[in-house]
Structure 1
Amino acid sequence: MAMNDYNLSNSYYNTIDVPREETASLLAKVLAITSVGFFITSIGVATAPAWGTFVGFIVVLGLVFAISFARKASPGLALGMFLVLTYFMGWEIGPLIQRYIHNFGTALVFNAAVTTGCGMAVMGCIAYLFNINYRRITGIGLAALLLLIIAGIASMFFHFLSPDTYSWLTLGIFALLTVGDFARIRAGGNGASAVVLSLSIYLDAINIFMAVLQLMGGRRSRS
């Protein structure tokens, strides 16, 4: 039993400590797929109807589960579903973004996007410069996210979380998850395909962008 535990922990360490050169190709694929996804999302935002938020949410949620089932059976299908997901993510967030543009102008959205991009680059560098235990950091991030969701639902009734507090907590949690996801790529992906890893990075970035946008919008509305 002790020998099995030793082998498990030893292989666990080796999974985390993969040379950067061996994952450069995987990182390039993930960044390329994610970049195309963001471009398609911008089209979705531009074409989103006023009632698109709920429809977009349902489609995105369904496709997240569908991709998890199709990732091994048909990587091409999984990629296609990811690209469809990014378009309907534009529907989900589009009405809110259009509202910010109407109230504050396009500069606010642009600044939020640039801030998000720079932040993602910094977090990616952190994950590649340091040998991070991505399983542990992702586990902490997911537990914190679950608690935040529960607190957010409770706050709808008891009003103990301000919008800014919720946005800051969202920003912190998804920053942690982003570092974990980049560290997972740095470790070779642990068997996950480029599409699945791209989906994780994409969802991290969307949530960070929305949190930054809401914080900037809130500050602008108070000034």
Structure 2
Amino acid sequence: MAMNDYRMNSYNSYPTTIDVPREETTSLLAKVLGITSLGFFITAVGVATSPPWGTLPGLIIVLGLVFAISFARKASPALALGLFLTLTYFMGWEIGPLIQRYIRTFGTGMVFNAAATTGAGMAVMGCVAYLFNINYRRIAGIGFAALLLLIIAGIASMFFHFLTPDTYSWLTLGVFTLLTVGDFARIRAGGDGRSAVSLSLSIYLDAINIFLAVLQLMGGRRRN
């Protein structure tokens, strides 16, 4: 998937474990969290304004913007930031009809709880990445392979139905938890030469996938 182009490059020039003083990465982390937080706010606006038919157009636009950011991130950081914020709005279109369906079925409380759980989980994973010596490239490699297997299993399950929605959500949660720890560890190690926008995109996509998995699990429990 295009979102993982950011995870698999620059293997020779930057540290792979925690060997950068924390004070040297505080500014980078603050930028990433600030950009990501603004992105989530814009996504909320996108969800609120998404049309019932917005999922497919939103998906197409988001994928196109992921590729556009990968080209713009070095040439023009300001353009890359603008593209990222545009992406977060159309991500709201992509997931908006699903979230609105959950709200109609279960109420706003479930969506809020899923968002709060995701936020708390992201904070814990960030702390783990900053407290322990983690080789983020190894984590990224394992997580990327696991994500490919998950995508293949999901496509195959559409035909052979060997994965329940809850099982797939648990697997998604595990894979993106691993990727999130790796992405925070990358920031802790100095960013691997990536810009704050590029790092924010990785963290943002991790969080969106974790949120959707948590929402599915909460909805499945309520149905049962």
Q: TM-score range by the shorter chain?
A: over 0.9
Q: 1:95 aligns with which of 76, 97, 120?
A: 97
Aligned match of 1:85: 87
- Aligned equivalents of 1:91 and 1:10: distance in 2? 38
Alignment RMSD (CA, Å) = 1.4
Structure 1 consecutive aligned stretches of length 4 or more whose deviation exceeds 2 Å: 9-16
* Corresponding letter in the other structure for 2:58: G
Amino acid of the structure 1 residue aligned with 2:86: V
Unaligned runs of 5+ in 1: 1-8
The match for 2:111 among 109, 113, 119 is 109
Identical positions, percent? 84
What letter matches 1:204 in structure 2? D
* Matching residue of 1:199: 201
Work out which of the residue numbers 212, 220, 223 in structure 2 matches 1:221.
Answer: 223
Structure 2: unaligned runs, 5 residues or longer: 1-10
Q: Secondary structure at the match of 1:80?
A: helix
Distance across 1 between alignment mates of 2:98 and 2:164 = 18
Cα separation, partners in 2 of 1:168 and 1:69, compared to 1, 3 Å: same
Name the SS of the counterpart of 1:123 in structure 2.
helix
Give the aligned partner of residue 24 of structure 1.
26
Question: Whose RCO is larger (CA < 8 A, sep 6+)?
Answer: 2
2:170 counterpart residue number:
168
Q: In 1, distance between residues paired with 2:74 and 2:14?
A: 23
- Counterparts in 2 of 1:38-187, with a 5 A limit? 38-187=40-189
Residue in 2 that maps onto 1:188: 190
The answer as to 2:48 corresponding to 1:37 is no
| Residues in 2 aligned to 1:190 and 1:112: alpha-carbon distance in whole angstroms | 31
SS in 2 for 1:121: helix
Q: Contact 1:16–1:134 (CA<8 Å) still a contact in 2?
A: no
The residue identity in structure 2 corresponding to 1:128 is: Y
Q: CA deviation at 1:73?
A: 0.4
Is residue 174–residue 204 contact of structure 1 (8 Å, CA) maintained in 2? yes
Structure number with bigger Rg: 1
User: Is the Cα–Cα contact under 8 Å of residues 17 and 185 in structure 2 kept in the other structure?
Assistant: no
Contact 1:15–1:188 (CA under 8 A) maintained in structure 2: no
Q: Distance in 1 between matches of 2:77 and 2:13?
A: 27
Deviation of the 1:131 alpha carbon: 1.2
Contact 2:17 2:135 in 1 (8 A): no
Taking the aligned partners of 2:35 and 2:88, their CA distance within structure 1 comes to 11
Task: Give the 3-state SS of the residue equivalent to 1:59 in structure 2.
Answer: helix
Letter in 1 for 2:87: L
TM-score, length of structure 1 as denominator length? 0.93
TM-superposed CA distance for 1:54, in Å, is 0.2
- Seen in structure 2, the aligned counterparts of structure 1 residues 14 and 106 have a Cα distance that, compared at 3 Å, is closer
Structure-1 separation of matches of 2:57 and 2:12: 46
Equivalent AA in structure 2 for residue 216 of structure 1 = M
CA contact (8 A) 2:16 2:137 kept: no
Question: Residues 16 and 131 of structure 1 are in contact (CA less than 8 Å); yes or no, is this contact kept in structure 2?
Answer: yes
Letter in 2 for 1:45: V
